[in-house]
Structure 1
Amino acid sequence: MTYPNSKWTKDHPLNYIIVEPKTYKEALTQACWIEAMQEELHEFERLEVWELVPRPDKVMVITLKWIYKVKLDELGGILNNKARLVARGYRQEEWIDFEESFALVARLEAIRIFLA
């Protein structure tokens, strides 16, 4: 019997099912996820992604969240565990935490006209 939304069958033992941690506390219970988080932080340091500054008064600080993903090869074996540290920018409110933002996007037709 195949379970919905899963490639596992009833015959597979539970210890073969790959589970990604949902929280930081869950990730801290396994050495492979701690190592993946350390790799991500080392990359941040190497690329100089952030700079430690004093926290200004009356300013909302954007919090961070860890995202965990198991990378599989074409046969379903584990290649590696990925941990990503992402900013929760969705918690900001326009005109309170920032003034305006937009992303400049060009359509393919406009690029072709420009290059012609």
Structure 2
Amino acid sequence: MEEEIKALIKNNTWEKRVLPPGKKTVGCRWVFTIKYKPDGTTERYKARLVAKGYTQTYGIDYSETFSPVAKINTIRVLISVAANKGLPLHQFDVKNAFLHRELKEEVYMEAPHGFTESFGEREVCLLKKSLYKQSPRAWFGKFTLAMKHYGFKQSNSDHTLFLKQRGSLITCLTIYVDDIIITGNDKEEITKLKKNLFTEFEMKDIGRLKYFLGNEVLRSKQGIFMYQKKYVLDLLAEIGMVDCKPTDTPMIMN
């Protein structure tokens, strides 16, 4: 929770203001999640502060919220092309993706639970950055503008797919919320794109693609294998067919 608050403050997510007469606040709450490794063991614990969306009014506190996400078929096609052409598959994660765009609406949020001691009487948060309700669309909008600025074209069949071609060389990027996959045969452009993204956004280089949308990705001379051993394990454990031990999981290939 303290790490999340530090990140929110660093990104200038809000300003402390005394609530103006006639204005209402939206609530907030903490969401706790556990990030798992491909083998099912715990990688890290994560806390996120979110505005309570159901207390907001469409057209007043927020407008559009929809944000496209990568189609699984698009991801499979990219991986298939990479396998057939021997192309690299890079994976990146955007840190605090939803805090990368300013809000246009005037939204006041109550002080975060557990940290109210730093707020004065009637002081609340005037949100400057997206916090949940508007976040997905606002983040994707900013990312799209950045990709177009880099010279990439947005696919008409899947808006989360961005392409850039230079003669016979091509670079492909697809994004699912804050997870990014990059592939292509243009090494120079890929290096340039990575530099641009890391300059504009706070990114984490995960390395070669290993785990994406619940699928483990293994590469060998025979090709690329995608399987969901954690998903299968959880499903079998849920119906009582296996004892939930990651090491007991068979390889399941799609």
Please report the TM-score for the alignment, with normalisation by the length of structure 2: 0.25
Contact 2:27 2:52 in 1 (8 A): yes
Cα 1:108/1:90, change in 2 over 3 Å: farther
**Mapping 1:1-116, distance limit 5 Å:** 37-94=1-58, 98=60, 101-102=63-64, 108=156
Q: Partner amino acid for 1:60?
A: K
AA of the residue aligned to 2:50: V
Where structure 2 has 5 or more consecutive residues not aligned to the other structure, the ranges are: 68-153, 160-254
Summarize the Cα distance change of 1:66–1:93 in structure 2 as closer, same or farther, 3 Å threshold: same
Question: What CA deviation, in whole Å up to 9, does each residue of 1:71-105 have, x standing for no partner?
Answer: 1101111110000000113212347xx18723698
Whole-angstrom CA distance in 2 between matches of 1:38 and 1:77: 24
Partners of 2:44 and 2:4 lie apart in 1 by 13
Pair 1:104–1:93, CA change in 2 (3 A) = closer
Q: Which runs of 5+ in 1 are unaligned?
A: 1-36, 112-116
Q: Which residue matches 1:28?
A: none
The structure-2 alpha-carbon separation of the partners of 1:78 and 1:103, relative to structure 1 and needing over 3 Å to count, comes to closer
Aligned-partner SS, 1:90: helix
Secondary structure, aligned partner of 1:41: helix
The letter of the residue matching 1:50 is W
TM-score computed with the length of structure 1 as normaliser: 0.51
Give the Cα separation in 1 of the matches to 2:3 and 2:41: 21
RMSD of Structure 2 on Structure 1 (CA): 2.9
Aligned residue pairs, count: 72
Q: Secondary structure at the match of 2:5?
A: helix
Residues 6-65 of structure 1: CA deviation (Å, up to 9, x unaligned): xxxxxxxxxxxxxxxxxxxxxxxxxxxxxxx00000101111111111101222101111
Q: Is the 8 A contact 2:34 2:42 kept in 1?
A: yes
